[in-house]
């Protein structure tokens, strides 16, 4: 039987950045393929190229034998491809049924009436995805899971040969994931070829027939879910290497005084669940790592602590609730975050960035702090006058951390500092972390996907998986208890 979706040698670059290189795979009717990779791996680019939202620079995309690479998206859609976007927004004044009717409409300028056929078919589809009871309601009144079903309904409305789903379970609670999974699984029986694009294998493992793993635009593994999860390269990419447990020196008195306490934390983005009943605590002087894959919720957790997103539950700092403080006030009170996106002032020099961090100090304090930081990150001293947007990735990360340290934080939050950095830079960062731990009594909360980086420095580890904390304990026990199931 010939493949419904056949991708050959697909390549796409954005200026100098190669987003995808020589990607080839095919999907048979009734087959579900998982396209996985961490942030920046190129999986979204590949999906967009298949749908026509981006034009590939090289390679071919065939839908049931017809070459569609380079076509406009609406033509590709009519050729037989449906897509479920991660961040779709429904129209507010139309009912669920009307949304599905929209998906069934021909691209006709003169369609002034719909006929009974279309309406009947729309009702059928609504029932197929489990929306029969709510099809006459407005999106505003429905929970997130139903809105995702609506997106699925729109994608399969015209019975496309290929269905693309971007991050199928993002925003759903653990219970909703199971239901949704079953629904997607039922597409097999209809003979569709399904491509699921996601961050991690584990989340889609039960659902997919095969997995195609990407990293930095290239294929790194292909095969059954179990095989891919055990693949050396894949584990290194996600975990950073072998999880080694070395004996670590005990630190006198660490963790005695409670500093940060997070209880029953829940965060919603609109209706999507980002965090569900999260509890963590950090004591003074501790180094706590929160490990989890992209999309698990680490950034959301940190943003909630820093006051950048509204949340349910309580967050107490030194015994007092952070509920009514502005994010800037929280930072001034000692919780300083160095975010994943670094948020540097690109057109300002390294020195200016650092000075901005030190504006709360007197001139002398600021100078002293600066000197200490230049000792910790010598490269910053030599690049003082350079505009920060011209620095390399690793240098920018060091600048971001140094700038945060200028604030003399009591708790330093680091969100994925190793993202996209070369191993040699990771070494330097690791050393800097170690020096920090040993020469100061700073408390650190580190969020990482790269377990190899996160474990050696940590006093305690939390594992965050799809909105919930699933494990807490000593790094020594991590490999034994949580490591195997991590991926």
Partner 1 sequence: MYGRKACWDAADMLRNKIFLLVVPLLVVLALLPLGADGYILGLLTLAYYYAVFAMSWDLLFGFAGEVNFGPTFLIGVGAYTAALLNHYWHWSIPACLAAGSATAVVAGLVLAVPALRLRGPYFGLVTLVAVLLLQNMLVLNAGLTGGEIGLDLPDVLAVDDTQNYYYAFGFMVVSAAILFGLSRSPVGLILQASGQDAIEASALGFNVAKHKLVAFAISAFFSGLAGAMLIFYMGTASVGTVVDIAVGVNVIIAAVLGGRRTILGAAIGAIFLIGAGEVLRPLGQLATFIVAAVALIVILFLPSGFLGRFLQPGDRQ
Partner 2 sequence: MLALQILIDGFAISALYALGATGFTLIFGVSGVLNLSHGALMAMAAITAWAVADMVGGNAYVGAAAGVIAALICAFVTFRLIVRPIQNSRAIPGEEKEIFVLTGTLLWGIMIQEALAYLFTNTPKTVRPLIEGVVSIAGVRVPYNEVLTTAISWAAIGLLWLLVNRTRMGKRLLAASMNPRGLTLLGHELSSIYLLVWAIYGILAGIAGVLLGAFLGVSSDNAGTLTASAFSIVVLGGLGSVSGSLIAAFVVGYLETITAYLISPTIRTVPVLLLLVVVVYVRPQGLLGRR
User: Residue 111 or 323: which CB sits closer to partner 1?
Assistant: 111
Place of tokens 């539950």: 313
Tokens representing residue 341 in the block:
């996106």
Query: Residue 417 Cβ, how far from partner 2 at the closest point, in Å?
Result: 15
Place of tokens 């290239």: 218
Query: Residue 450 Cβ, how far from partner 2 at the closest point, in Å?
Result: 23
Query: Residue 237 Cβ, how far from partner 1 at the closest point, in Å?
Result: 29
Cβ atoms within 10 Å of 480's Cβ, excluding its own:
11
- d(CA 246, CA 240) in angstroms, rounded, equals 16
User: In 52-94, which residue ranges form alpha helices assigned H by DSSP?
Assistant: 73-80
User: Residue 327 or 473: which CB sits closer to partner 2?
Assistant: 327
DSSP structural state of residue 6: E
- Residue 355 binds which entry of partner 2, partner 1, none, with Cβ cut-offs from 5 to 8 Å by kind? partner 2
Residues contacting residue 93 through CB under 8 Å, at least 6 positions apart = 138
- d(CA 215, CA 40) in angstroms, rounded, equals 8
Report how far apart, in Å, the C-alpha atoms of 148 and of each of 31, 168, 172, 341 are. Answer: 21, 9, 9, 28
User: Residue 343 or 371: which CB sits closer to partner 2?
Assistant: 343
Query: Residue 372 Cβ, how far from partner 2 at the closest point, in Å?
Result: 18
User: Residue 346 or 423: which CB sits closer to partner 2?
Assistant: 346
Residue numbers 263-322 binding partner 2 by CB under 8 A = 306, 308
Q: Pick from 327, 456, 473, 476: which binds partner 2 (CB under 8 A)?
A: 327
User: First-to-last CA distance in the chain?
Assistant: 33
User: Residue 134 or 370: which CB sits closer to partner 1?
Assistant: 134
Tokens representing residue 115 in the block:
């006929």
- d(CA 164, CA 464) in angstroms, rounded, equals 27
User: Residue 296 or 331: which CB sits closer to partner 2?
Assistant: 331
Query: Residue 45 Cβ, how far from partner 1 at the closest point, in Å?
Result: 14
Contact by Cβ (8 Å): 32, 196? yes
Encoded one letter per residue, x for contact with partner 2 by CB under 8 A and - for no contact, window 428-447 reads --------------------
Q: Pick from 80, 339, 394, 447: which binds partner 2 (CB under 8 A)?
A: 339
Query: Residue 145 Cβ, how far from partner 1 at the closest point, in Å?
Result: 19
User: Residue 222 or 352: which CB sits closer to partner 2?
Assistant: 352
- d(CA 315, CA 464) in angstroms, rounded, equals 17
Query: Residue 101 Cβ, how far from partner 1 at the closest point, in Å?
Result: 8
- Residue 103 binds which entry of partner 1, partner 2, none, with Cβ cut-offs from 5 to 8 Å by kind? partner 1
Residue numbers 158-217 binding partner 2 by CB under 8 A = none
Residue numbers 398-417 binding partner 2 by CB under 8 A = 403-404, 407
Query: Residue 135 Cβ, how far from partner 1 at the closest point, in Å?
Result: 10
Residue closest to 195 by CA, chosen among 160, 219, 228, 148: 160
Query: Residue 480 Cβ, how far from partner 1 at the closest point, in Å?
Result: 46
- Residue 343 binds which entry of partner 2, partner 1, none, with Cβ cut-offs from 5 to 8 Å by kind? partner 2
- d(CA 222, CA 202) in angstroms, rounded, equals 15
User: Residue 347 or 434: which CB sits closer to partner 2?
Assistant: 347
- Residue 337 binds which entry of partner 1, partner 2, none, with Cβ cut-offs from 5 to 8 Å by kind? partner 2
User: Residue 173 or 303: which CB sits closer to partner 2?
Assistant: 303
Query: Residue 268 Cβ, how far from partner 2 at the closest point, in Å?
Result: 15
Residues contacting residue 334 through CB under 8 Å, at least 6 positions apart = 317, 409, 410, 411
- Residue 119 binds which entry of partner 2, partner 1, none, with Cβ cut-offs from 5 to 8 Å by kind? partner 1
Query: Residue 49 Cβ, how far from partner 1 at the closest point, in Å?
Result: 13
Contact by Cβ (8 Å): 337, 306? yes
Residue numbers 340-379 binding partner 2 by CB under 8 A = 343-348, 352, 355-357, 359-360
Contact by Cβ (8 Å): 92, 140? yes
- Which of these segments, 93-101, 143-151, 271-279, 328-336, binds partner 2 (CB under 8 A)? 328-336
User: Residue 154 or 219: which CB sits closer to partner 1?
Assistant: 154
Tokens representing residue 452 in the block:
């190899």
In Å, the largest CA–CA distance within the chain is 79
Residue closest to 27 by CA, chosen among 52, 54, 56, 47: 47
Binding site for partner 1 (CB under 8 A): 51-53, 72-74, 77-78, 83, 85, 88-89, 91-95, 98, 101-103, 105, 107-116, 119, 136-138, 140, 154, 158
Query: Residue 137 Cβ, how far from partner 2 at the closest point, in Å?
Result: 20
Residue 7 gets the label, from left (phi > 0), alpha (psi -120 to 50) or beta, of beta
Q: Pick from 336, 350, 405, 463: which binds partner 2 (CB under 8 A)?
A: 336
Residue closest to 455 by CA, chosen among 435, 475, 485: 475
What DSSP letter does each residue of 33-63 carry, written as one string? Answer: EEEE--TTSSHHHHHHHHHTSS--SEEEEEE
Contact by Cβ (8 Å): 399, 350? yes
Residues that bind partner 2 (CB under 8 A): 306, 308, 326-329, 331-332, 336-337, 339, 343-348, 352, 355-357, 359-360, 403-404, 407
């Amino acid at each position: 039987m010939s493949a419904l979706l056949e991708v050959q040698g697909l390549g796409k670059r954005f200026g100098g950045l190669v987003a995808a290189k020589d990607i080839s795979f095919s999907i048979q009717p009734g087959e579900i393929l998982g396209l996985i990779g961490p942030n920046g791996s190129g999986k979204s680019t590949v999906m967009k190229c298949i749908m026509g939202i981006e034009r590939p620079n090289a390679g071919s995309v065939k839908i049931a034998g017809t070459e569609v690479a380079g076509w406009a998206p609406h033509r590709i859609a009519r050729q037989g491809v449906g897509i479920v976007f991660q961040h779709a927004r429904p129209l507010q004044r139309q009912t669920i049924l009307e949304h599905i009717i929209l998906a069934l409409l021909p691209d006709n300028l003169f369609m002034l009436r719909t006929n009974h056929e279309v309406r009947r078919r729309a009702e059928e589809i609504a029932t197929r995805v489990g929306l029969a009871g709510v099809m006459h309601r407005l999106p505003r009144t429905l929970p997130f899971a139903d809105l995702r079903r609506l997106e699925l309904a729109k994608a399969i409305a015209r019975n496309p040969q290929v269905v693309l789903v971007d991050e199928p379970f993002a925003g759903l609670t653990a219970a909703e994931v199971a239901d949704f999974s079953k629904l997607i699984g039922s597409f097999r029986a209809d003979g569709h070829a399904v491509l699921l694009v996601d961050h991690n294998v584990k989340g889609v493992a039960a659902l997919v027939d095969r997995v195609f793993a990407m990293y930095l635009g290239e294929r790194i593994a292909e095969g059954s879910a179990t095989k891919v999860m055990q693949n050396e390269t894949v584990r290194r990419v996600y975990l950073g290497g072998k999880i080694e447990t070395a004996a670590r020196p005990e630190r006198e008195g660490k963790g005695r005084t409670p500093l940060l306490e997070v209880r029953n934390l829940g965060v919603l983005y609109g209706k999507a669940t980002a965090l569900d009943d999260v509890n963590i605590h950090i004591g003074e002087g501790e180094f706590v790592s929160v490990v989890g894959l992209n999309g698990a919720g680490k950034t959301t957790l940190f943003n909630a602590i820093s006051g950048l997103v509204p949340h349910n539950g309580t967050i107490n700092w030194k015994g007092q609730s952070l509920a009514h403080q502005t994010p800037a006030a929280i930072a001034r009170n000692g919780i300083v975050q160095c975010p994943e996106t670094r948020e540097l002032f690109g057109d300002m020099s390294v020195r200016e960035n650092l000075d901005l961090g030190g504006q709360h100090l007197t001139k002398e304090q600021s100078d002293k702090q600066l000197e200490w930081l230049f000792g910790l990150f010598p490269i910053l001293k030599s690049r003082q006058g350079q505009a920060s947007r011209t620095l390399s990735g690793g240098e920018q990360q060091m600048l971001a951390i140094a700038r945060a340290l200028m604030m003399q934080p009591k708790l330093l939050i680091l969100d994925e500092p190793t993202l996209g950095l070369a191993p040699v830079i990771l070494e330097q960062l690791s050393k800097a972390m170690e020096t920090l731990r040993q020469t100061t009594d700073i408390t650190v909360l580190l969020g990482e996907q790269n377990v190899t980086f996160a474990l050696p420095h940590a006093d305690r580890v939390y594992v965050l998986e799809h909105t919930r904390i699933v494990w807490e304990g000593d790094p020594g026990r991590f490999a034994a208890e949580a490591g195997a199931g991590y991926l």
